[in-house]
Amino acid sequence: MINEKLQAAFNDQINKELYSEYLYLAMKIFFVENDLTGFVNWFDVQVQEEHAHAMGMFDYLGERGGSVKLEAIDKPVFNGKTPVEIFEEVLKHEEYVTSRINALLDVAEETKDRAAIIFLNWYLKEQVEEEASVGGVLAKLKLIGDDKKALLMLDKDLATRVFNPPVIG
């Protein structure tokens, strides 16, 4: 049976992963409206990844005899009006998620739940990849600047991103 404090922290993180899914869905609209279909694909994959992250914790709580409590998902908020501004916000959001996973690990350590620590290490590694992937797109967008041709080349590149269902834990 999972400790109650740890269970609450997991439930909070499930909500944050679902918020991430919702946020990226909202950001995708900008790219749909600007006919950047490769970026749309990138966000489609991102949305699926966030859903998988939430469901990984959802299933884990069940396995551990815990109880999932779903709360309201906040309205997605971002202010970016260009691809580079939006990706700056994606990176900021992923850095925030990394800090939340670390906080969740702190609770797992505090409650001496070694199984949860091992499980959460997967999320920590995933965050390193997430930040690197987003940071890579952002760096290219900064190099591209106002060059529309180069932006279309990056769009073509992002069209190749594929969702691989993660094996969590």
51, 60, 94, 133: which one contacts ligand FEO (CB under 6 A)? Answer: 94
Query: Judged by CB under 6 A, does residue 50 bind ligand FEO?
Result: yes
Provide, rounded to whole angstroms, the least separation between the CB of residue 17 and ligand FEO. Answer: 5
End-to-end CA distance of the chain: 18
Q: What residue type is 42 in one-letter code?
A: W
Residue with Cβ nearer ligand FEO (95 or 109): 95
CB 43 within 8 A of CB 25: yes
Provide, rounded to whole angstroms, the least separation between the CB of residue 10 and ligand FEO. Answer: 13
Residue with Cβ nearer ligand FEO (51 or 64): 51
Residues 6+ apart with CB under 8 A from 158: 38, 39, 41, 42, 137
If 0-12 CB within 10 Å is exposed, 13-18 middle and 19+ buried, where does residue 107 land? buried
Query: Judged by CB under 6 A, does residue 17 bind ligand FEO?
Result: yes
Query: Judged by CB under 6 A, does residue 53 bind ligand FEO?
Result: yes
Query: Judged by CB under 6 A, does residue 20 bind ligand FEO?
Result: yes
